[in-house]
Structure 1
Amino acid sequence: MPQRFAVYYAPAVTDLLWDRAAIWLGRDPATGQSHDGAVAGIERTRLLNLTQSAGRYGFHATLKAPMALAEGQTEAALRAAMQRVAAELPPVPLGKLTIANLDGFLALVPEEADNPQILDFAASVVEAFEPFRAPLNPRDRAARATANLTPRQEELLDAYGYPYVFDQFLFHMTLTDRLAGADHADLLRAAQTWFGPVLDEPVTIDRLSLYHEQENQLPFRRIADFGLEG
């Protein structure tokens, strides 16, 4: 499987939210550093087992989902395009974040649910980098075509390689894999304890972050950031 790239939002690596998320997930995608030890009363092995996928992708909010590059496109061209796009797009205030349950997943989402500016921004990013996306192969499409997709989401999956774009977009920063029962209750309490001290400050989307999966199933690395200057 070819390498993949993703255009995400992630806080600055000096931000306390980034630091706490890296410790929670057990890995810093920017440095590759691993973190051991319990977090908010949850033993590390248990936490790793319940955050495997979230940890592999790294802390982020998806803007342009992971994609293999289209024929003729290169990482250098993608970086140059991100620089151009970031120079044109203005920062987007999100307000404060809160911990939410998204179909069994714990994630950070804006307290203010309705923000057209976020939707417009995310749509602009999806469109801007669509020329870099190779079509999904059948296996990747099957992996993203979950049973509960709506007809609209199926349409978007076929058109853009990802079902949660445009009117289906929800800004979120995933903290766990899908949880149930005691795992959900325990990790919700732990996440509220662990992230609570850094959720008082409002957040602004102020950059585009480039993430890279070198080979299939390897952890994503955060390899570049482009500040928004529009």
Structure 2
Amino acid sequence: MTERFAIYFAPSAESALWERASQWLGRDAASGELFDGTVAGVDRSRLLNLTQDASRYGFHATLKAPMALPPEHGAEDLREAMRRFCRVRRPLDLGRPRIENLSGFLALVVEPSESLSDLAADVVEAFEPFRAPMSLRDREKRVAKGLTERQVELLDAYGYPYVFDQFQFHMTLTDRLGAEDARDIAQAAATWFAPVLEERLVLDRLSLFHEPDSGKLFRRIADFRLGDAQ
């Protein structure tokens, strides 16, 4: 079994944003509930086809990308490290999110800030001891998707190319869309998420997600609130 863990930001599982995003993706990664029916006029079967990867990973913003644990660390070690990390940090107000097309896929994004970049970098560094080395096969698959020289450097150092100066906070809503889908799916997303995009997004927790085996659904298994004595 090749299980992996990821450290993400995800809003409270009781929040309107989480509920809307879960319904959009057809799956609640916290409860495991599946959703049927049209969304903003889009047939569920069509939307599922356009969100397969996004749905498998669950609604989130990546801070520490999915990783297998090394032999010297278990899941409880990772949980305890997350408790310690979050205890001494404070929530960040990210402002109002907006929907953008990022190289073909839709995502919720926020205005970049030094405090957000610093927190993301701290997560990458702090939890690097919990990342087992990437296999050559996985590296080759990632490089084959097209990376810059800097991104390959980061991939080799941290197992993920989009960290530090390459980091962009985003919460993925779709897989890569073709031209025939991009416009109307973007319109549907704007309609569906409009009620929650007026609210400011606060990064108030780190969420631990778990993939029990390669290719399986990620589940949200624990939350650690920033500033809490947990």
Q: TM-score normalised by the shorter chain: which range applies? A: over 0.9
Q: 1:110-159: CA deviations, max 9, x gaps? A: 1x2x3111100000000010000001012221232244311110000000
1:128 aligns with 2:165: no
Alignment match, 1:49: 49
Number of residue pairs the alignment of both structures matches: 228
Letter in 2 for 1:225: D
Mapping of 1:1-230 within 5 angstroms? 2-110=2-110, 112=111, 114-229=112-227
Q: 1:18-71: CA deviations, max 9, x gaps? A: 000000000000000000001001100000000000000000000000000012
Residues 107 and 185 (structure 1), Cα distance of their counterparts in 2 relative to 1, 3 Å cut: same
Alpha-carbon deviation of 1:108?
A: 0.1
Letter in 2 for 1:20: R
Structure 2 alignment gaps of length 5 or more? none
Letter in 2 for 1:9: F
Q: Normalising by structure 2, report the TM-score.
A: 0.97
Q: Normalising by structure 1, report the TM-score.
A: 0.97
Alpha-carbon deviation of 1:198?
A: 0.5
Letter in 1 for 2:63: L
State the superposition RMSD in angstroms. 1.0
Letter in 2 for 1:125: V
Corresponding residue SS for 2:141 = helix
Letter in 2 for 1:120: D
2 CA distance for matches of 1:140 and 1:108? 27
Among all aligned residue pairs of Structure 1 and Structure 2, give the percentage whose two residues are the same amino acid. Answer: 60
Structure 1 alignment gaps of length 5 or more? none
